[in-house]
Structure 1
């Protein structure tokens, strides 16, 4: 961030005496997508025309992985900074992002915003359903709008009409992979099941007691996910150290530490098919149908339309 701050300050010092009149119609970057100098931090984003640049510098972490809307005020000092520049030749991203910028073209005019409001609306970039019906969250779309932006010009200030800066797409976030070995599934009691991998787990609480019975099925037993029955929780963990010893304990262990928690949206269905293995043992295959998971931030993704939770053996 210090690098970018120095670049903007250097340019302002070079051009502080050239505050030529700013005509609002000149600042028109409609239809040009914003780009980022660093896709990890997204501190400095910009829009380019052949000899013009509109540069927005923000605090690191402004574009976070949380759906919602935020407003940020532009002030004369500190961040964010919004700067408009014109050049005496054709420019590229190196004129904005490089630590040592090209010696040409030169900045011939610069106007720095001293007031206004930035509104950022963040929505997840959810994939189209795959062949199995599953979806993924592949980053976020950050829609940026500017309002009441005032620029310092010769003789005072000038306010530009509200305008749409554009959408910045970030891809540092991907929804977790939900995949289990069927035979890892187990039963704590009649109303609680679990399955796990090294760094994920899925627990079904308040299972409909009619689903697991030692009677062969001719048709799958079915029960709907509700707010009080068949509650499904999927967790990811910060370390890959989950074993069967983690489950069936009250309270549940605090280690390994949970990274993310997702819950099943109501109206999905749990199906169980039971077959008799021998005189005493029955195998129950548990399948989730049309289940969608949601986290506390409102992010959602869908499991495969038919997702095998696992299989358990009872006597």
Structure 2
């Protein structure tokens, strides 16, 4: 009987032996909001729990470009070993904080006890604009951007071997700020003598009306409450808003296309808005009050509204 009992025990031990398969470990940061070490460059993002961290390294300004505006939509990048986009999981032998991740001189404790490096996968960043609406005047402004980060089919290199994650890793959403273009002008409207381009400007931005309908600016009074009006089309009354990488003055206009300072961003009015001009006369001087109605300005996938009625300014001739 002892003989059979020993054989049975031996068989059970054989079945219980490791067959060479690695035990799959799980990391879970689902409920943790990601944070950036540097809220200008966003080159290192992290999520931390008590004794764990998940780090995502990106090239500088991937989320918020140093010049211009983020691209709204989906961007995808490959994650490879020692590449520009890196994902790292770490476990520690004590409680950690931001200083363990971001400081140039990091605390000597706690120590890293386990480290996984992503050697494969696909990084997806879905960027959307956040806007606010002014219900009183119909205007809107862009207040920031939300960047949803998802990593597909991650392969980790671990001390015990490799592990492939079949489920997508939702790293989370990083929100970056943005200052919506200012459309406040204090100057009077100017007119180019040859092209009849209308313009208003500050030192850093301008708004122009190009290929203007010749029937809008006419030296004749309009009845009160009955301004001249003309629609914005693809070929006429083209409203353009520019920001610049330097200071401009009145000499920037009417002299061809200057090469300096360079244009930072360009926003074009969509077809369908209305330009209204009300004209009054005092002696021999005509004053043309220029108002834009229901105009929306677009830059790529970004847009904001000037409102139901926006005063560009007055032109005196």
Whether these two folds match at TM > 0.5 is yes
Q: Distance in 1 between matches of 2:217 and 2:308?
A: 22
- Can you give the 5+ residue segments of structure 1 that lack an aligned partner in the other structure? 1-19
CA shift for structure 1 position 199 = 2.5
SS of the residue 2:94 aligns to: coil
CA contact (8 A) 2:216 2:277 kept: yes
**1:245-280 deviation digits (Å, cap 9, x = unpaired):** 33223x3332332222211111111111122222x3
CA shift for structure 1 position 61 = 2.6
Q: Does 1:116 align with 2:116?
A: no
Q: Distance in 2 between matches of 1:40 and 1:100?
A: 20
Query: Is the deviation greater in 251-260 or in 78-87?
Result: 251-260
Equivalent positions of 1:86-105 (< 5 A) are 86-105=91-110
Q: Distance in 2 between matches of 1:305 and 1:66?
A: 27
Equivalent positions of 1:229-268 (< 5 A) are 229-243=236-250, 245-249=251-255, 251-268=256-273
CA shift for structure 1 position 130 = 7.0
- Can you give the 5+ residue segments of structure 2 that lack an aligned partner in the other structure? 1-21
RMSD, aligned α-carbons: 2.3
Question: Which of 282, 299, 304 matches 1:301?
Answer: 304
CA contact (8 A) 2:40 2:61 kept: no
Residue in structure 1 matched with residue 170 of structure 2 by the alignment? 164
SS of the residue 2:149 aligns to: strand
Residue in structure 1 matched with residue 215 of structure 2 by the alignment? 210
**1:168-191 deviation digits (Å, cap 9, x = unpaired):** 1122x4232122125243353585
CA shift for structure 1 position 45 = 0.4
TM-score, normalised relative to structure 2: 0.82
CA gap of 1:232–1:188, structure 2 versus 1, over 3 A, is: farther
CA gap of 1:77–1:21, structure 2 versus 1, over 3 A, is: farther
Moved over 4 A (4+): none
CA shift for structure 1 position 44 = 0.8
Residue in structure 1 matched with residue 145 of structure 2 by the alignment? 140
CA contact (8 A) 2:210 2:239 kept: yes
SS of the residue 1:188 aligns to: coil
